[in-house]
Amino acid sequence: MTEVFTGSFTQQEPIPEEGIEAAVAVMRSGRLHRYNTAPGEIAETVLLEQEFAAQVGARYCLAVASGGYAMATALRAIGVKPGDKVLTNAFTLAPVPGAIAAVGAEPIFVGVTDQLVIDLDDLKAKANQADVLLLSHMRGHLVDMEALMALCDSAGITVIEDCAHTMGAAWKDVPSGTQGKVGCYSCQTYKHVNAGEGGLLVTDDAEVAARAVMLSGSYMMYEKHLAGPPKEAFEAIRFVTPNISGRMDNLRAAILRPQLRNLDAQRERWNGRYRAVEAGLRDTPGLTVIERPAEETIVGSSIQFLLKGWTASSVQDVLARCLKRGVELKWFGAAEPVGFTSRYDSWRYVDAPPMPASDAVLAGIMDMRVPLTLSLDECALIARIIKAEVGAIFQSA
């Protein structure tokens, strides 16, 4: 009998009861705006910022409307201007080059390795083309951060980390987002905490933090940012930094706080599911499992594997046959964007030269969400289905 998966790859777990109760309390108060507080009250948004800063070991934290807004704000806060060039990953999602374009800058794409991380050799070769790197930890894969920071420091490149897929992850026990000048996180539904939309920005730089607070729309209420820099940091910039409002509200902050407190436990649950799928995919003819470095603490909310050297038609056969059995895979090698998947040459507002080595990697990248609503048995079933269909097509090729 042919096995079929009948579950969902997009169903999330419910918001924790503590978060629901906190959200209801905010709604009953009517004080959803972060600066609307009763005497003696600390806003949920402020508490979230303080708690997340402590959680990752950052000096300052700002809660904003989305991860994409956090990235654009970080770029503006470090001084990126229209016409500047910014290095970034060829393997990433549209909000990353979108954040660069939003500030009027120009992305310069850096290649991807078959470990799905930024190619440090290509980065070194392009280091003289820009003085900022918006580093995407795409799909949760961390490059050797010591090597990357050494390269960027020696070249005078400021690093902003896109941690949309690495909240709770670490390289050699250093939390993702704390090695560059700024770390940017997403709280969108399909990330590691769920507020529907939302973002967090962390930095140890007081001037960058002050600019970010002003950009986010603090008006002259920046002293209410208890996880922000001292008021002295605002003196030189408060009248010359534009308000580009993108604040988080207290309702979303209330939903997020208990989720962040439970992030370590959730990471272990994700990783158990990730390892179950990974184990089931091993030794599949024609399929390459991505080996994760021992130095990397992962959060396995999605899994990727490679179909190296496969033709486009064969990859499409895998997609169709797996989908027929209930397993929804995404492919980053298609010529046109599909859903959230895209390639560096999909974004036609960028004049990107061809990257043949990266094209060869992208042509084989398969991707699948691993939601916590999957059981371990379902993860094993999904792996069996993929293994069977990939193996069958590979053997017949």
Distance CA 296, CA 294 (A): 5
CA 54 to chain centre: 20
Alpha carbons within 13 angstroms on the beta-carbon side of residue 348 total 3
- Find the mean pLDDT for residues 106-125: 98
Distance CA 201, CA 67 (A): 8
**Beta-sheet strands, E only, within the chain:** 60-64, 85-89, 106-110, 132-136, 158-162, 170-171, 174-175, 182-186, 199-203, 288-289, 296-297, 302-306, 330-331, 365-369
The backbone region for 114, taken as left when phi is positive above 0, alpha when psi lies in -120 to 50, beta otherwise, is alpha
- Find the mean pLDDT for residues 99-121: 98
- Find the mean pLDDT for residues 32-45: 97
- Find the mean pLDDT for residues 238-256: 98
CA distances 364 to 97, 109, 275, 316, Å, are 22, 19, 21, 11
Q: Provide CB contacts within 8 A for 317, sequence distance 6+.
A: 393
Q: Which among 231, 217, 224 is positioned nearest to 64, based on CA atoms?
A: 217
Q: Which among 245, 235, 186 is positioned nearest to 215, based on CA atoms?
A: 245
Residue 335 pLDDT exceeds 90: no
The answer to whether the pTM exceeds 0.85 is yes
Residue 12 pLDDT exceeds 90: yes
* Range of weakest confidence among 43-47, 340-344, 359-363: 340-344
Residue 150 pLDDT exceeds 70: yes
DSSP state of 307: -
**Assigned token pair, 152:** 């960027």
CB-based contacts of 153-156 (< 8 A; 24+ apart in sequence): 155/124, 155/127, 155/128, 156/131
Distance CA 48, CA 16 (A): 16
Residue 1 pLDDT exceeds 80: no
Which pLDDT belongs to residue 246? 98
Q: What is the DSSP string of 40-75?
A: T---HHHHHHHHHHHHHT-SEEEEES-HHHHHHHHH
Q: What is the pLDDT of residues 65-88, one digit of tens each?
A: 999 999 999 999 999 999 999 999
Distance CA 225, CA 185 (A): 18
- Find the mean pLDDT for residues 274-287: 98
CA 216 to chain centre: 20
Bridge partner list, 182: 160, 203
Which pLDDT belongs to residue 348? 92
Which pLDDT belongs to residue 107? 98
pLDDT above 70 as % of the chain: 100
Whether the CB-CB separation of 94 and 164 falls below 8 Å is answered with: no
Q: Is 156 exposed, middle or buried (0-12, 13-18, 19+ CB in 10 A)?
A: exposed
- Find the mean pLDDT for residues 155-184: 98
Whether the CB-CB separation of 270 and 300 falls below 8 Å is answered with: yes
Whether the CB-CB separation of 248 and 63 falls below 8 Å is answered with: yes
CB-based contacts of 286-295 (< 8 A; 24+ apart in sequence): 286/310, 286/390, 286/391, 286/393, 286/394, 286/397, 287/386, 287/387, 287/390, 287/391, 287/394, 288/114, 288/364, 290/115, 290/116, 290/141, 291/115, 292/141, 293/142, 293/144, 295/144, 295/171, 295/172
Whether the CB-CB separation of 93 and 340 falls below 8 Å is answered with: yes
CA 151 to chain centre: 22
Distance CA 295, CA 32 (A): 41
Q: Provide CB contacts within 8 A for 232, sequence distance 6+.
A: none
Which pLDDT belongs to residue 318? 97
Residue 397 pLDDT exceeds 80: no
Which pLDDT belongs to residue 212? 98
**Assigned token pair, 256:** 């997020």
**Assigned token pair, 127:** 């280091």
Q: What is the pLDDT of residues 374-396, one digit of tens each?
A: 999 999 999 999 999 999 999 88
Helices (H), 171-311: 206-216, 250-261, 263-281
252 or 339, which is more confident? 252
Residue 21 pLDDT exceeds 90: yes
Q: Is 262 exposed, middle or buried (0-12, 13-18, 19+ CB in 10 A)?
A: middle
Domains annotated for the chain, with CATH where assigned, are 17-261 (3.40.640.10), 263-396 (3.90.1150.10)
